[in-house]
Amino acid sequence: MKMLIDSFWRAVVYCLYPRVIGLSFLPLVLIVASSWLLGYLYWDMAVTWVRAWLDASSWLAVVWRWLEGIGLPDLKTVVAPLLVIFSVTPLVVVASLLAVSFLMTPSLTRLVADRRFAGLQRKRGGSLLLSLWWTFLSLLLALGALLLTLPMWLVPPLAMLLPALIWGWLTYRVMAFDVLAEFASVDERNTLMARHRMSLLGIGVVTGLMGAAPSLVWASGALFAAAFVILVPLAIWIYTLVFAFSSLWFAHFSLAALQALRNEPPHAAAHDTAVPASPHAVARLGAGAGENKADGVTDVDPRPIL
């Protein structure tokens, strides 16, 4: 727990570095440009399709008539854009995670290593191709869990808990692997991810809950169309900063755990852990019982040849 809290505060301080803030704008530019392009090409089509689907729903017709009866006839026109935005939000979160993972995490990890762990040997237990495969596989598993648990989101407590657990698990899988890929060997990485699984998952869940805050800014941009162009990029930048903070948190924690693992004393030699001789053998053969067989001593007398 001490290492977990210590790495948290160090990550907070590192987020104030100009280099970290500057790096956070690179994924922002890419994501905003991609979002703008997709919105320019498909926004009208997506909103029209969702509006047509809402109009074709018979059970929603009752809701529309009720809204008109209470004096909110224009609310219907806002529902379709909101549904499109809320549907795209998870994709933006995943895009932010992947952008930070590939564009920022290596640089942030080296920043932490150079400042705190200058003498830490880099064993390079993970290649870029392996990192891509690991990220792709983790993403597929997270999206599968997201689809399987989607009906449970109708239960209010689970609607808050399940997304945080899923995004936290995805963040833990991607970030921990990328942080350890350059510095740890394969065996060290597997050992650390098994030994500190709950702590790493906790970091992922906490940062996943922190990632829910920008959704309020995102939704505000949908409700206030005049500020949409400003609030949505702001929400994306906050997403990027949250994941950058998670990279720093994972880097501080994982590299400290790796250094502690390498500082552990080696296992005792096999001859130091040999099973002691039984009292019966000692009584028959003396104090030399239980010594290595290479010394020519056994605990069984040879049978005489008849």
Does 9 have pLDDT greater than 70? yes
Does 129 have pLDDT greater than 80? yes
Distance from C-alpha of 215 to C-alpha of 160, rounded to nearest angstrom: 13
Percent of the chain residues topping a pLDDT of 70:
68
pLDDT at position 292, please?
43
Q: What mean pLDDT value characterizes the chain? A: 74
HSE at residue 26, side-chain half, CA atoms within 13 A, is 16
pLDDT confidence bin for 54, thresholds 50/70/90: confident
pLDDT at position 252, please?
93
Q: How do the domains of the chain map onto residue ranges? A: 2-262
User: pLDDT higher for 285 or 35?
Assistant: 35
User: Model confidence over 58-82: pLDDT tens digits?
Assistant: 666 676 677 666 766 666 667 777 7
Name the packing angle between helices 105-116 and 156-183 (round to 10°): 60
Q: What are the DSSP calls for 245-283, one per residue? A: HHHHHHHHHHHHHHHHHHHSPPPPPGGGGPPPPPHHHHH
Distance from C-alpha of 2 to C-alpha of 253, rounded to nearest angstrom: 10
